[in-house]
Structure 1
Amino acid sequence: MEKNTGLGDDETILKKSTKGVTFLMFGQLFGKVLTFLLNNMLVRFLSPRVFGINAFLEFLVSTTLFFSREAVRLSTLRIKTPRATENENDTQDTHGPVLQMALNFAYIPLCIGIPLSLFLIGWQYSNLNDYFISLPYFRLSILMIWLSIIFELLSEPFFIVNQFLLNYKVRSQIESLSMISACAVNFAMVYLYESKINGSGATLHNVSKQEGIAILAFSVGKLAHSVTLLGCYYYDYLTKFAPTKQFTVIPSKIHISSGTTPFYLQSDILQHFKKVYFQLCFKHLLTEGDKLIINSMCTVEEQGIYSLLSNYGSLVTRLLFAPIEESLRLFLTRLLCVTSTKNLRLSMEVLINLTKFYLYLSLIIVIFGPTNSPFLLQFLIGSKWSSTSVLETIRIYCFYLPFLSMNGIFEAFFQSVATGEQILRHSYLMMVFSIVFLANCWIFISYYKMSLEGLILSNILNMGLRIAYCGWFINGFYKNLFAGSHNASFLVNFKNFRLISVISCVLIFFNWYLFGTVKNFRQFTFNLILATVLVIFILYKERKLIRSYIKREDTLDVKGV
């Protein structure tokens, strides 16, 4: 049986991370398909105004959770065994204290989240439109949202332990169950009200109550998600961890040896947490800045349109890119705890291959996204959205996706290897990027009246700056480690990409000249054939890389037997 230590060698970490991508990807796929189906069923019942306020409530939840827990999640990955052991049998002696260290840190999010959630919800509630405050059940909905935040933060200790042990399967299963409960509750409340209570005619069809029920359904769904999350994680703890008594769910002092002072929080990890937290504040302002801007500069209807674009337009990004980025961050952080030459070369190889994969997928999105996305989207939305600009805006949104995805893996690398001083330096730079982003938003949205198109363009420029900085950091990181070595050259690994880029440019002009924006299934089918041919050509040009990856996986499986 495999030891559940999470402290294996580089090959074990790579294998766990590779499998972790699969678990997270399928978990994301299941959740997004479920959400996708739910939105398609609800979009015909609800107006853009309701989608807008639900997006606002989702923003409150995500903002509070991010500022409460993200820095802890990143910092605890750097916890190391307090003492080096030469005997493999000593691993179990230090395994318990390491997990207890991680769990102690996991209570910081709750300490931050309770006051932060009260402040954010109270502040935003006072600025809401009187129309929404007067809706039936709206205050109850706000209470449900706050409770969902608290319950989700209570599950954080269990999440941190499973993350440290790279237990991707457990996490994906629990999150999938939580999504099912949230979607089931949300849809059931809206559907039962629409089919059993809300009727036709002025006396029966109450628009105000209909919108109040829809918002309450969303809030209760979020609470169901959090309660399910906490319940499943606690059950997993009782069945797998509690019998071994390696750690307790209550924070407790760590006793390493008789010659050391007991402590709750490891000092170097605590210092790293403070620096990461400072940096993440500015990162979140940039990453979620579009939501901050849209709440202040755009109407509620435009917020609903942008929410729809985020759900549909970034589907590929969240299904495929997000699991890869998270697994990369966990893999690099654990791998580079020991900066041996072998580990450094492996990290560089993984990063190069992932970058190439992202570039190829970005090419496909840029070529076929703007021409096909309006045609696909028009079948997914009802008549209430026909008068909006969503079909035109999604074409521009497609150009934003490659920047969003590439920034994800570059910043995942930076967060995994940067020192405390480098993180602080990056934080100051993020302040500058924040100012540039806000200035661009004012210019494009307020001055040039570009609305959502201006917001998307501001995001593209923002991501471009962040990619440039992280690219410069990555180049310097490996250049210093492999000075004078040909293995550090990134350009030689991208010769196939340059050829495929030229072919892709030809495809763009050819496709646009023939059809422009796709208007029927015949044109869509032709685009699908072109995309398939391009994918086959990419696979052919990169066949050696694919074979080497398959061979490595087979080797790892044999070693694991």
Structure 2
Amino acid sequence: MGSQEVLGQAARLASSGLLMQVLFRLITFVLNAFILRFLSKEIVGVVNVRLTLLYSTTIFLAREAFRRACLSGGAQQDWSQTLNLVWLTVPLGVFWSLFLGWVWLQLLEVPDPDVIPHYRTGVVLFGLSAVVELLGEPFWVLAQAHMFIKLKVITESLSVILKSVLTAFLVLWVPHWGLYIFSLAQLFYTTILVLCYVIYFTKLLSSPESTKQQTLPVSRITDLLPSITRSRNFVNWKEAKLTWSFFKQSFLKQILTEGERYMMTFLNILNFGDQGVYDIVNNLGSLVARLIFQPIEESFYIFFAKVLEREKHATLQKQKEGEGQTRRFLQLVIHRTSYLSPWPQEDIAVAAMVLESLLKLALLAGLTITVFGFAYSQLALDIYGGAMLSSGSGPVLLRSYCLYVLLLAINGVTECFTFAAMSKEEVDRYNVTMLALSSSFLVLSCILTHWCGSVGFILANCFNMGIRITQSLFFIHRYYRESPYRPLAGLYLSPVLLGVFALSGGITGVSEVLLCCEQGWPARLAHVAVGAFCLGMTLGIACLTETKLVHFLRTQLGMSRLTDKTT
């Protein structure tokens, strides 16, 4: 598959994921806002911090490294060995579930059963749900590697919606069940998730169309199970070694990703009520990151992993002249993006163009969220959770998180490319940096939380995210240093556009002081209208000044449609 076909499928995957996740997340958003009005802050804190941390840590440690390693395979990938390697996530998940469950029950403070009943059962069921989800991991890896466009999004979104519906129903019907409600809903979610994948592949592999096309490396559903043959090794040892490198990295990355929750859980920095408010604000602040940036990062990681060869820098990537549609596509893209070489190194040229455009897109989206989020944080929290969120530290937390979202957006793109292009040795060296970041995060979080409360967690995350971005930027600069391509130009914006962002921030800030949020709904609606006008003005100027990005998005829309027709 040529780079332009992979790019078209990646664009299609990202756009489909974005649109469908927006729809499903909006439904979930409404259901969660409804549920919050019937819960105490303490229940929210235990479920969303303590128990969810158990589940996410088990899942992350058991599968993250396997996903990255197994999706980096080339055209000659032996899928029976890859699937055998992926199945190792299940026993690994059982181990982590048992070990972490023991820690959660024996070493951590157990909540007051009168306030938060059935905590022990919650720990058991959340650990079990993590193991159940890992049973679907081979199906997920196969679907991602072959870019099954809507399967992942529909499956995950449908499972989340059904989980939210069940939670809302149980909260209204049997509120005295306490943590039983959320534990059963979590187990229901993972079961539906796995069943959707199993049913989809069972029907696909039993259909005559699939047999004729032979697009998959398996022909029967039983081929997805572990297989042992004497003619070859059980796993590909190169993939296994890469998995170990990613595992060491993922362990450290998990500390950075969930660091504040670990500190809340193990150091008791905040009580359960404050933990609940922090987590709700954190989830609300990261909503756009999950809706927009995560689908882009996941889709284009696959693109970069397929297009670029590991352990080879830009000047050593494979060269192709390209024919027919490939040639016309490249001439159009390279010419419009100012890469004027008439015969570029095809894959590296397209990768550079994509990286530059993604950086520009992430920067614009992150700046928009930061500028407009500052003036609308309190209103958003009041609508979402009422006075429980909009009073106290909630608005300050969300404003701080808006800045963090900007860094998340840039880091997602830079690490997406970096992890796809790094050699095993470079991944190992990066692990040392992650270890230093993990240590600095813990120290900095302790200092900042004692100084400014829960906002200190977000500030510490911003610091560490800035360091990670810097590391990735250095790698990208070295990678392209001896080539004619400069994808880091995507981080530059025109002075006019920066001025418009500053003007919009000032206008909406004044509007918040005068119109929101204690002046009644007419004043609030006027505040929203001011923001809508400023947002429209900003987007309009962005379209006029960032013509290369606009052309890239139009080109990818065209490639996505072309991929739709050819598939």
Q: Same fold (TM over 0.5)?
A: yes
Aligned to 1:99: 79
Aligned to 1:316: 288
Cα distance in 2 for residues equivalent to 1:318 and 1:554: 25
Contact 2:62/2:92 (<8 A) preserved = yes
Q: Partner amino acid for 2:150?
A: K
Offset of residue 497 of structure 1: 3.4
Going from structure 1 to structure 2, the CA distance change for 1:58 and 1:104 (only over 3 Å counts) comes to same
Contact 2:359/2:488 (<8 A) preserved = no
Cα distance in 1 for residues equivalent to 2:417 and 2:539: 27
Cα distance in 2 for residues equivalent to 1:130 and 1:546: 54
Query: Does residue 1:115 correspond to 2:85, yes or no?
Result: no
1:37 to 30, 33, 37: 30
Give the TM-score normalised by the residue count of structure 2: 0.85
Aligned to 1:363: 367
Cα distance in 2 for residues equivalent to 1:355 and 1:489: 8
1:474 to 473, 476, 497: 476
Contact 1:133/1:139 (<8 A) preserved = no
Cα distance in 2 for residues equivalent to 1:386 and 1:343: 49
1:407 to 407, 411, 420: 411
1:273 to 243, 246, 253: 243
Contact 2:14/2:295 (<8 A) preserved = yes
Going from structure 1 to structure 2, the CA distance change for 1:189 and 1:420 (only over 3 Å counts) comes to same
Pairs within 5 Å for 1:131-530: 131-133=111-113, 135-194=116-175, 210=176, 213-241=177-205, 244=211, 246=219, 248-253=223-228, 261-295=231-265, 296=267, 297-337=269-309, 339-340=317-318, 341-385=345-389, 388-446=392-450, 448=451, 450-480=452-482, 482=483, 485=484, 487-488=485-486, 490-491=488-489, 496-513=493-510, 515-516=512-513, 518-519=516-517, 520-530=524-534
Q: Partner amino acid for 1:422?
A: E
Offset of residue 428 of structure 1: 0.4
Q: Partner amino acid for 2:275?
A: Q
Offset of residue 511 of structure 1: 4.1
Going from structure 1 to structure 2, the CA distance change for 1:24 and 1:451 (only over 3 Å counts) comes to same
Offset of residue 184 of structure 1: 2.1
Q: Partner amino acid for 1:334?
A: K
Going from structure 1 to structure 2, the CA distance change for 1:269 and 1:115 (only over 3 Å counts) comes to same
Contact 1:328/1:412 (<8 A) preserved = yes
Query: Does residue 1:67 correspond to 2:54, yes or no?
Result: no
Residue-by-residue CA offset, 1:163-189 (whole Å, 9 max, x unaligned): 111113122222222223212221111
Cα distance in 2 for residues equivalent to 1:547 and 1:393: 37
Cα distance in 2 for residues equivalent to 1:452 and 1:215: 25
Residue-by-residue CA offset, 1:329-357 (whole Å, 9 max, x unaligned): 11111111483221111111111101111
Cα distance in 2 for residues equivalent to 1:118 and 1:555: 47
Q: Partner amino acid for 2:284?
A: Y
Aligned to 1:25: 18
Cα distance in 2 for residues equivalent to 1:500 and 1:359: 12
Aligned to 1:198: none
Cα distance in 2 for residues equivalent to 1:363 and 1:156: 35
- Secondary structure, aligned partner of 1:378: helix
Residue-by-residue CA offset, 1:421-455 (whole Å, 9 max, x unaligned): 10111100111111211111121113x2x111111
- Secondary structure, aligned partner of 1:380: helix
Going from structure 1 to structure 2, the CA distance change for 1:510 and 1:238 (only over 3 Å counts) comes to closer
Q: How many correspondences in the alignment?
A: 511
Cα distance in 2 for residues equivalent to 1:404 and 1:548: 22
Contact 1:187/1:217 (<8 A) preserved = no
Offset of residue 240 of structure 1: 1.5
Q: Partner amino acid for 2:298?
A: E
Residue-by-residue CA offset, 1:187-217 (whole Å, 9 max, x unaligned): 11111125xxxxxxxxxxxxxxx3xx24211
Cα distance in 2 for residues equivalent to 1:529 and 1:354: 26
Contact 1:100/1:254 (<8 A) preserved = no
Offset of residue 36 of structure 1: 1.3
- Secondary structure, aligned partner of 1:265: coil
Going from structure 1 to structure 2, the CA distance change for 1:533 and 1:556 (only over 3 Å counts) comes to closer
Going from structure 1 to structure 2, the CA distance change for 1:512 and 1:168 (only over 3 Å counts) comes to same
Cα distance in 1 for residues equivalent to 2:127 and 2:83: 23
Going from structure 1 to structure 2, the CA distance change for 1:269 and 1:539 (only over 3 Å counts) comes to same
Cα distance in 2 for residues equivalent to 1:230 and 1:253: 24
- The gaps in structure 2 that reach 5 residues or longer are 212-217, 311-316, 319-344, 518-523
Q: Partner amino acid for 2:219?
A: Q
